[in-house]
Chain A
Amino acid sequence: MSALLQVRGLSHHYGQRVGCQDVSFDLHPGELLCIVGESGSGKSTLLKTVAAQLTASSGSVRYHQRDDSWLDLNELDEAGRRRLAREEWGFVTQNPRDGLRLNVSAGANVAERLMAKGMRNYGQLRAIAKGWLERVEIDPARVDDAPTSFSGGMQQRLQIARTLVTQPRLVFMDEPTAGLDVSVQARILDLLRRLVNELGLAAVMVTHDLAVARLLAARTMVMQGGRVVETGLTDQILDDPQHPYTQLLVSSVLTT
């Protein structure tokens, strides 16, 4: 099977400082890849560079399109980048308030991407919005409520609905469960695992929580100081870490 995303030698520098350095990986359709590491290790920079939100200092990202051709993201213009971000990809931010439009209702949030794609039938938009609220376990009766009246966990689920409504092929997630309490985290992770399976989408997820990686990802990359220090099957990395930093990371998880 051919890869969906090919990342080769990707670097992003903030002036003199290194964001991420010389990262390469392949992502296959239906695969969930976790990027773990401590804060400041370049996880989010890598994610944003791969998602073309930051320009790569060097290296390449290639995306396998539906028509079987490869798209080089370095050569993509702004219009193409936005089309891709709107129709083929999704991006879930850590803070749902960054990813949501807070001054409009939940239903409008979910339907926004559909309207951007040109859907102009109110009844249909509303039906789809309600359907998605139900899928992310939000009461469809709250379709007209403002996202500000939702709890943090509901906001995050709303953001997931809003992102997945156009059935993207690839989703980037930047610590979607950070800052939520454990039971809410568990629900969201459960939901994500179910949706990823149902929709068969590929995802790259950044997290500092190894349990999240264990639960969701088949493959994990460990980053330190902007570089990938270890990569492999999640279970292998967590049960038998080879790199000293990974060993430290795994051993510093509190177990009760």
Chain B
Amino acid sequence: MTSDYNFAFLDENTKRMLRRALLKAVAIPGYQVPFGSREMPLPYGWGTGGIQLTAALLGPDDVLKVIDQGADDTTNAVNIRRFFARVTGVATTERTSEASVIQTRHRIPETPLREDQILVFQVPEPEPLRTLEPREAETRTLHALADYGLMHVKLYEDIAQYGHIATSYDYPVLVDGRFLTSPSPIPKFDNPKLDRSPALMLFGAGREKRLYAIPPYTHVESLAFDDHPFEIQRWEQQCQLCGSGDSYLDEVVTDDRGSRLFVCSDTDYCGQRRAEPAA
């Protein structure tokens, strides 16, 4: 740890403000708590919300993992991991099972999480109703009155246009039967992992200055119609590196003649499976 920064970059008062907001968020699952978002040394949209939450959570004994679209080795993940290694001196890891705090963008790890782990999401747009209702005062009123018919208008539009619910990421959920919540742009493949998760899930939107939480073992329901139930993506392929048939696959174009490769988006999960001898 260098002496140029306070531990975890943010000053203690800011971290205190964030922790108070986080406590409130945990107390009201799915409710968007406003907080005084600070300037961070990376642009909005790169995870300023997640990075502030992580800064408020980290202690010297924590082990941090940062993933971006499931991968530990992309620019966003590498930079944030290096940032925290530098300003806190905490240990970092790429192994999901070894981490105590996991900051993530757009994925939930395939490896099941435990009660002693915290997942921090980077959220670009915390308001699930925003595309349908641009007025902030109005969306807040809708949340206050639990008046969520509007969200089904969007799902209706999907079915009318595509024949099925085409929303495939940032799929709206109802948390604890009360608050309509954006799960951040995770694929809907990961939505079932939100339901009654043993790990605490925290969501930070830096530009929008909102944070919210899904506490452990909270019921999270993905919205749907009676005759068009919620479904996750499926692939005909298996991961061509580790052979997994039940993880979220990325399609990688390998040349300009139409060759493509399907691989796990979760690099740690894929790597572990390849390291283990096939059992």
Contacts and interface: CB of A to CB of B under 8 A. Distances in A.
Nearest to A107: B160
B160 A120 contact: no
Interface in B115-156: 132, 141, 145, 147, 149-150, 152-154, 156
A117 B225 CA distance: 14
Given A120-B225, A120-B226, A121-B226, A108 B157 contact: yes
B153 A101 contact: yes
Nearest to A117: B149
B276 interface: no
For the residues of B in contact with A, the DSSP-based class is helix
B147 A122 contact: no
B228 interface: yes
For the residues of A in contact with B, the DSSP-based class is helix
A121 B157 CA distance: 13
A90 B226 CA distance: 27
B261 interface: no
B226 A105 contact: no
Contacts of A78: 141, 145
A125 interface: yes
Given A120-B226, A122-B225, A107 B156 contact: yes
A121 B225 contact: yes
A120 B152 contact: yes
A115 B157 CA distance: 12
Given A78-B141, A78-B145, A121-B225, A116 B150 contact: yes
A103 B159 CA distance: 15
Nearest to A122: B225
Interface in B151-169: 152-154, 156-157, 159-161
9 contacts: A105-B157, A108-B160, A111-B156, A115-B149, A115-B153, A121-B227, A122-B226, A123-B227, A125-B225
Sorted nearest first, the 3 A-B pairs with minimum C-beta distance are A116-B149, A115-B152, A122-B225
